[in-house]
Chains A and B, each alone.
Chain A
């Protein structure tokens, strides 16, 4: 380069937009929502950011765990850096931007979106399972509340001009689709693609013929996670075949509990009415199941009702007769007493930590047992997402507690070997699940002089017992479960135990009392507080504080209180404790 061409001093910067001010909060984005200042991480979308200051932006298609489609247009808001309305779910916040969510322009947009969504919606609330937890209903009242402007050709009571589609299409073993109710938010399509990793659902046709349907390659929605599309469907288009027409949701109350179908221990809400559970819904838990659960776990609530052992039975075979609880305790104690010291102890890792601890304490302090035979369910199919091969929900807890109580763990193979050798004279059995055919196992028990079984179900195993003590399910008592990765979760009592059943810990306590043991606990809370200090892993667990009942915002949807205004679950908890009554 020559000297002449050497550039002179650079000219002054051309007048343009002034230099951007440095961010008000370095590393964060500061902006305003309806005049209120919000500080959020860069990349946060407007829906989530607005929520932090209590501003609720409506949406159908947005789901925090799915990719963003921004197709429902319900979340359009005004932003100071855009001449048009912007979708709040898709738009990342910008420094200094002012968002307005309640201007006439936004409100009119929301009203218009609602009107379009309802244009072809069938008049179905009365027969729709989603009624009561439907976002169309919620947002209609909040953002539209105007009469229909659709011409009703054919007179009152006809569908008029509404586009008719397939009303009840069974698309899989668990899910039924009503294409008329669908708002085409594509949450289900995205879920199957991104979470279940099997894109079985898709959007077919175009324009007003657009529908959700099963991809022909798959033929049916039979993925193990198909039930979740029912939960995330914001309207009543995808419905559970199991739950459909069984209960109106406003009569149900939700109790936080865990799924005991496998050792993953997904957090769920058990929706119940009276002493019946009607469905499981996944409850949000970032550490375990995010917002999902598998189709294998979903129907496991049915075990609370099916073939339950509801009365104690004493005697065996032709001598068997039903007895009262105290009678059964006395009878079992009378039989156990002469055999103390030679009673074997077997538990299934399907019961709660409280049941385990009380039973271990009883076995150690009263029965003078040093070993525990572990029964439980046989391993099954697992996948690399939520379903685990080990079908026992509390094996981890059992291992911890056995260690804490100084027990030697023996396998089921050891157990059957000992039984076959007639090395076991008497047996105290907690839980009736065995990892082999129950009939086969029952035959092995034939040689045992005394079998006392505290179990939930009537099975050939309990049939082989000399004293059958009905145990309650985990939904019927407070307790904790420890899942495979060592996360302990609290379950809450939904309703009192069915029939005459008692929790397994109570049977252990009552038997212990009858046999002269020192342990007296009245509640599972007392069991935990007294015995957990012996278990290193459980002793610091905040039993009282974990998973409170009736907290708004757990799971996908929160249920309203009883339709008559009483708090959720009032019917089930019996007469309230009022002083003087």
Chain B
């Protein structure tokens, strides 16, 4: 008689689960998803490998490098002056601050003092671009939390600033402005009046943005108490700029180590308390107002005079000298072909960029090209703390957090 397998189970087989099975804990495992590298909320091209336990962020692993361009090495194979357009591409939202920060470091290495008027132009340019940067960051924060109108007002103001920057530098985004020893051009005629009008309108628009967001229940609920970082952690990770000040640490290089003419400007450094997204947002909104005030003061105080040094070892001679005197053509030739001869040495210098301390470590071997260029991008250090800020919180908190740290791929990934 053939053996039937069914016979063994005839009694045991019962498709209905018993009670103990029904009451067992649901077996789940964490889900791993990719946020980015191509995602509208991932500014630039950052990949976040997010491990989700339900909607809770179990682990956030940030991966950068998709926008790596070999910035530092590129700088080392061109002349000191040719580095300036490369710096545009660091924090491309506020290129002027990169230009000026780099130039400030080179000038410190060379031990030269730029003319007064050039210092004012640098303060004006840097603050205009700080306004533009903060408007973008706050506008985009609203946008990504669903408040599209605020973004439009922010961008309208940013456009006005971009128009003034275009008139000053000739470019909207990649400004390539400033040269070793000062600025390559003076303020255009009538620019000061236009800029004052722009500032008036910018304040109005910034108030609109603030009005739409700051007292918006949905917005504040999503920002308050989310993305929190403690003061200790922020310091440990090397936070600077609005992200550090939102934790209540009063550190602003413009005050701590005043450069150019910041010591002559009256302005406050807004401080937060909780180190959460809302405080970072509020710091930025207030900084826009302070920057507007700085630009107004600078436009009032700006003295007449040259905007660049008169030393043909550093600065290109005027064109009429180049075309009609041998001295001019020689200086021009040597500066263009071999570059400004920067004395042997090394320097670290930093300025307060929109997102924090933009530091430059430069090293010269006495030639016309940098021997070493290293950039301390503020966003890099802040990005390193993003895991601490949101691990254990909700997935939805990641978006405002990533917005308020305002990581810029160009400078972080270089």
Contact surface of A with B, Cβ cutoff 8 Å: 118, 121-126, 131-132, 136-138, 140-141, 144-148, 150, 152, 156-158, 160, 250, 560, 563-566
Known: A145-B312, A148-B321. A122 touches B326 (CB 8 A): yes
> Could you tell me if B326 and A125 are in contact, using CB atoms closer than 8 angstroms?
yes
A148 & B326 in contact (Cβ 8 Å cutoff): yes
Closest 5 CB pairs of A and B: A565-B77, A148-B325, A145-B312, A141-B334, A121-B326
* Given A141-B313, A566-B77; A157-B326 close (CB under 8 Å): no
Residue of B nearest to A134 (CB): B330
Kindly state the separation between the CA atoms of A276 and B194 in the bound complex, as whole angstroms: 57
Chain B residue numbers with a CB within 8 Å of A150 are 325
A137 to B77, CA, bound (A): 23
Contacts of A125 in B (CB 8 A): 326, 329-330, 333
Chain B window 326-364, contacts with chain A (Cβ cutoff 8 Å), 1 for yes, 0 for no:
111111011001100100000000000000000000000
Which residues from chain A contact B369 at a C-beta distance below 8 Å?
A: 565
What are some 20 contacts across the A-B interface (CB < 8 A)? Answer: A118-B326, A123-B325, A124-B326, A125-B330, A132-B337, A137-B334, A138-B334, A141-B313, A141-B331, A144-B327, A146-B312, A146-B327, A147-B317, A147-B325, A148-B321, A250-B337, A560-B338, A563-B337, A565-B79, A565-B369
Cross-chain contact B328 with A147 (CB below 8 angstroms): yes
Residue from B78, B329, B369 having most chain A Cβ neighbours under 10 A: B329
* Interface size bracket, B side: 20 to 34
Instruction: Please give the distance in Å from B174's CB to the nearest CB on chain A.
Output: 20
Residues B330 and A141 in contact, CB atoms below 8 Å apart:
yes
Q: Which residue of B lies closest to A119 (CB)?
A: B326
A136 with B328: CB separation less than 8 A: no
A77 → B minimal CB distance (Å): 22
| Neighbouring A residues of B337 by C-beta, 8 Å | 132, 250, 560, 563
Question: B320 touches which one: A156, A560, A563 (CB < 8 A)?
Answer: A156
Q: Which residue of A lies closest to B310 (CB)?
A: A147
List, in ascending order, chain B residues with CB within 8 A of A132's CB.
333, 337
Query: Which residue of chain B has its CB nearest to the CB of A159?
Result: B324
Q: Which residues of B contact A560 (CB under 8 A)?
A: 337-338
**A121 neighbours in B (Cβ, 8 Å):** 326
On whether the beta carbons of A145 and B333 are closer than 8 Å, the reply is no
A302 to chain B, nearest CB (A): 28
Most buried by A among B323, B330, B331: B330
Which among B79, B326, B334 has the highest number of chain A CB atoms within 10 Å?
A: B326
Q: Which residue of B lies closest to A120 (CB)?
A: B326
Within 8 Å by CB of A123, from B311, B313, B324, B334, lies B324
Once A560-B338, A563-B337, A566-B77 are accepted as A-B contacts, the answer to whether A148 and B330 lie under 8 Å apart by CB is no
Distance of A335 Cα from B326 Cα, bound (Å): 67
In the assembled complex, which residues on chain B have CB atoms less than 8 Å from the CB atom of A160?
324
B313's nearest neighbour on chain A, judged by CB, is: A145
Tell me, in angstroms, the Cα distance from A147 to B325 when the chains sit together.
8
Docked pose: A158 CA to B325 CA in angstroms: 9
- Of chain B, the residue at the smallest CB distance from A566 is B77
Chain A at the B interface: SS class: loop
CB-based nearest A residue for B334? A141
Whole-angstrom CA separation of A14 from B328 in the bound complex? 61
Which residues of chain B in 114-158 are interfacial with respect to chain A, using CB atoms and an 8 Å cutoff?
none
Q: A145-B311, A566-B77 are in contact. Are A157 and B331 (CB under 8 A)?
A: no
CA distance A137 to B335 in the complex (A): 11
Q: From A157, A565, A566, give the contact of B323 (CB < 8 A).
A: A157
Q: A137-B334, A566-B77 are in contact. Are A156 and B327 (CB under 8 A)?
A: no
The reply to whether B330 and A136 form a contact with Cβ atoms under 8 Å apart is yes
A152 to chain B, nearest CB (A): 6
Give Cα A123–Cα B369 distance, bound, in whole angstroms.
Answer: 27
Distance between A118 CB and nearest chain B CB, rounded to angstroms: 5
Contacts of A564 in B (CB 8 A): 77-78
Which residue from chain B places its CB closest to the CB of A181 in the assembled complex?
B326
Judging by beta carbons under 8 Å apart, are A148 and B329 in contact?
Answer: no
- What residue in chain B is nearest A122 (Cβ atoms)? B326
Task: Output the least CB separation between B122 and chain A (Å).
Answer: 25
Closest Cβ of chain B: how far from A85's Cβ, in Å?
A: 23
Which residues 166-218 in B have Cβ within 8 Å of A in the complex? none
Task: Compute how far the CA of A157 lies from the CA of B319 in the bound complex, rounded to whole angstroms.
Answer: 11
Residues of B within 8 A of A157 (CB): 323-324
Min CB gap B207→A, angstroms? 49
Residue of A nearest to B82 (CB): A565
CB-based contact B327/A140 at 8 Å: yes
Is the Cβ of A145 less than 8 Å from the Cβ of B323? no
What is the CB-to-nearest-CB distance from B373 to chain A, in angstroms, rounded to a whole number? 13
Using Cβ atoms and an 8 Å threshold, which residues of chain B touch A145?
A: 311-313, 331
Task: Name which residue of chain B comes closest to A131, CB basis.
Answer: B333
A179 CB → nearest B CB, Å: 15
Query: With a CB–CB cut-off of 8 A, which chain B residues contact A122?
Result: 326
Query: How many angstroms from the CA of A121 to the CA of B330 in the assembled complex?
Result: 11
Does the CB pair A140–B338 fall under 8 Å? no
- Interchain CB contact under 8 A, B312 and A147: yes
Residues of A within 8 A of B79 (CB): 565
Residues of A near B331 (CB, < 8 A) are 140-141, 145
Is A565 touching B324 in the complex (CB atoms < 8 A)? no
Instruction: Name the A residues within 8 Å of B341 (CB-CB).
Output: 141
Contact between B330 and A137, CB atoms less than 8 A apart: yes
| B77 close to A152 (CB less than 8 A) | no
A104 vs B116: C-alpha distance when bound (angstroms) = 28
Instruction: State the CA gap A250–B311 with chains docked (Å).
Output: 25
Q: How far is the CA of A121 from the CA of B325 in the complex (A)?
A: 9
CB <8 Å contact, B328 and A148: yes
CB of A144, distance to nearest CB on chain B (Å): 7
A565-B326 in contact given A145-B313, A147-B321, A148-B321 (Cβ < 8 Å):
no
A354 nearest CB across to chain B (Å): 34
Question: How far is B329's CA from A147's CA once the two chains are assembled, in angstroms?
Answer: 10
Residues of A within 8 A of B325 (CB): 123, 147-148, 150, 152
Residues of chain A lying within 8 A (CB to CB) of residue B326: 118, 121-125, 148
Per-position binary interface string of chain B over residues 225-260, scored 1 when its CB falls under 8 Å from any chain A CB and 0 otherwise: 000000000000000000000000000000000000
Q: Which residue of B lies closest to A144 (CB)?
A: B327
Which of B78, B328, B334 lies in contact with A565, CB distance below 8 A? B78
Chain A residues within an 8 Å CB radius of B77: 564-566
* Contacts A123-B324, A137-B330 supplied; 13 other A-B pairs, CB < 8 Å: A125-B329, A132-B333, A136-B330, A137-B333, A146-B312, A148-B321, A148-B326, A152-B324, A250-B337, A560-B337, A564-B77, A565-B77, A566-B77
CA distance A158 to B320 in the complex (A): 11
Closest beta carbon of chain A to B89's beta carbon, Å: 18
Question: In whole angstroms, how far apart are the Cα atoms of A156 and B369 in the complex?
Answer: 34
B8-24: which have CB < 8 Å to A? none
